[in-house]
Amino acid sequence: MLAMPDISMKKILLIDDEEDILQLLETVLKKEGFSLIYKASTGQQGIELCRVEQPDHIVLDIMLPDMDGFEVCRRLREMTIAPIFFLSAKNEDTDKILGIGIGGDDYMTKPFSPKEVAYKMKAYFRRHQHFQQQEVSYTFGDIEVDEKCGEVRKAGKRVVLTAKEYQLLSFLARHPNQIFSKSRLYEAVWEEEYLGYDNTIMVHIRHLREKLEDNPSEPVYIVTVRGLGYKLRSGRAGE
pLDDT of residue 157: 92
pLDDT of residue 18: 94
**Based on the number of CB atoms within 10 Å of its own CB, is 198 exposed (0-12), middle (13-18) or buried (19 or more)?**
exposed
Average pLDDT, the chain: 87
Say if residue 81's pLDDT is above 70: yes
Distance CA 133, CA 86 (A): 29
pLDDT of residue 130: 53
Domain's final residue, options 110, 127, 144: 127
Using the Cα atoms of residue 38, residue 146, residue 219 and residue 239 in order, give the sign of their dihedral: negative
Amino acid, single-letter form, for residue 173: A
Together in a domain, 13 and 111 = yes
Name the pLDDT band for 225 (thresholds 50, 70, 90): very high
Domain's final residue, options 127, 155, 181: 127
Together in a domain, 17 and 119 = yes
pLDDT of residue 101: 78
The three state secondary structure string of 43-56 is HHHHHHHHHHHCCC
Say if residue 1's pLDDT is above 50: no
Together in a domain, 206 and 153 = yes
34 vs 147, residue with greater confidence:
34
pLDDT of residue 232: 95
Together in a domain, 202 and 223 = yes
Structural domain harbouring 210: 135-232
pLDDT of residue 180: 93
238 vs 236, residue with greater confidence:
236
The closest of 156, 154, 152 to 131, measured between CA atoms, is: 152
Say if residue 14's pLDDT is above 90: yes
What is the DSSP-derived secondary structure letter of residue 180? B
Name the percent of the chain in helix, strand, coil, to the closest 5: 40, 20, 40
Together in a domain, 147 and 75 = no
Together in a domain, 140 and 199 = yes
Q: What is the CATH number of the domain that holds 16?
A: 3.40.50.2300
Together in a domain, 11 and 117 = yes
Mean pLDDT of 79-84: 87
Most distant CA atoms of the chain, gap in Å: 59
Lowest mean pLDDT, pick from 93-102, 170-179, 190-199: 190-199
Mean pLDDT of 116-134: 76
192 vs 33, residue with greater confidence:
33
Together in a domain, 120 and 164 = no
What is the three-class DSSP state of 168?
Answer: helix
